Every structure is written in C-alpha cells, then in structure tokens.
Amino acid sequence: MTAGKKKARPPKETFRDAVNPCKPLQHRDGLQAIKRGEGKGQISGEDAGKILGSVDIDGDCRATHPESNRWDYVVGYDRSGQVIAHFIEVHSAETSEVSVVEKKLDWLESFLQHDAARQLAALPRELHWLASGRINILTHTPQYRKLQTTLRKRGLLFAGKTLLLT
C-alpha cells in the first residue's frame, strides 16, 4: 500500500458503517427489512449478491418521530464497487397521495441532515417511489405535473409496481 492511500473497504462494510451511527436505524442483511405487503416481492437486485443490506426507516423511526410522514426504506447496492443507497418509498400511487409522498421526501431530506446521518447522506443515492397497488395518478392534474417536474428535480423517480436495483 502506498503511503497516504487508504485501503478501500468492502462495499458491504461501507454501507453498514454508514447506517450504524444513525440511531435508531438498524442494518439488516439482504432485503430482510422489507415487509410483506409493503415492498416484499416488489424489490429485487439485478444481482442478489450485490445487495448490501436494508433498513426499515419507517419502523425504526416510529418511536422517535411518531407524528411524522416517514420514508420507508434504504437498501444498499454494490454498483461496480461503489455503494449506492436506494431510498425507497412504497406508497399508493393515487393523485391524492402525491402531496403525502412529498412530505415524506421532506422528512427524509431533513433526517439526512442530522450529524449522525452524515455518512449515510454522503453515499451516492437514488430516490424511488414504488406503487403499493394500482397506479392512478391522473395525467391532467397539478399533482401529476408536480411529480414530473418538482419532485423529479429533487431526485424522486417513480418506479411503478416493481423496482430492480442495479
């Protein structure tokens, strides 16, 4: 090893070490944090061996943020040796729910600004809205335009009914 250069940590350690300081978040292996009826079976990895772990943000933060519109999950994925944090919100895809998902995104961005979340916030990230059921966001509405413009500019991608992590 050359003087002054750090040895690169394995991606799985990098993701786990980014999550661990973020109390009350709990790192789980694979997709174990994804709940039945709330994303289980809808989220997968192009290569399951590259899934670095998952966190049930909503469940883990329920006691500390009981009245908040909390984000659902973060899943770590190894993309060519780089850790990608996939922040995933599993939520009904109805016109009336666009504003709720926006509040959840506001909460997530605020949560990631805390000192304890510094390492997790520093990871390259993708934000996904995964439909929990049918998709019924009417295209002629202001909510649809907000999803396609404002929320997309903030990085939110609408995944539809399934999400393949790459």
Burial of 164 (0-12, 13-18, 19+ CB in 10 A): exposed
Report yes or no on 141 lying in a domain.
Answer: yes
What pLDDT is recorded for position 4? Answer: 58
Report yes or no on 120 lying in a domain.
Answer: yes
Q: Which domain holds residue 102?
A: 11-165
Report yes or no on 4 lying in a domain.
Answer: no
Map residue 146 onto helix, strand or coil.
Answer: helix
What pLDDT is recorded for position 9? Answer: 80
Partnered with residue 115 across adjacent β-strands are none
What pLDDT is recorded for position 8? Answer: 73
How many CA atoms within 13 Å lie on the side-chain side of 33? Answer: 25
What pLDDT is recorded for position 5? Answer: 61
Map residue 9 onto helix, strand or coil.
Answer: coil
Report yes or no on 35 lying in a domain.
Answer: yes
- What is the full per-residue pLDDT of the chain (166 aa) written as tens digits? 455 566 678 899 999 999 999 999 999 999 999 999 899 999 999 999 999 999 999 999 999 999 999 999 999 999 999 999 999 999 999 999 999 999 999 999 999 999 999 999 999 999 999 999 999 999 999 999 999 999 999 999 999 999 999 9
Report yes or no on 33 lying in a domain.
Answer: yes
Q: How many domains does the chain have?
A: 1
Report yes or no on 6 lying in a domain.
Answer: no
What pLDDT is recorded for position 7? Answer: 67
Task: For residue 93, give both structure tokens.
Answer: 């895809």
Report yes or no on 26 lying in a domain.
Answer: yes
Report yes or no on 28 lying in a domain.
Answer: yes
The Cα–Cα gap between 156 and 52 comes to 22
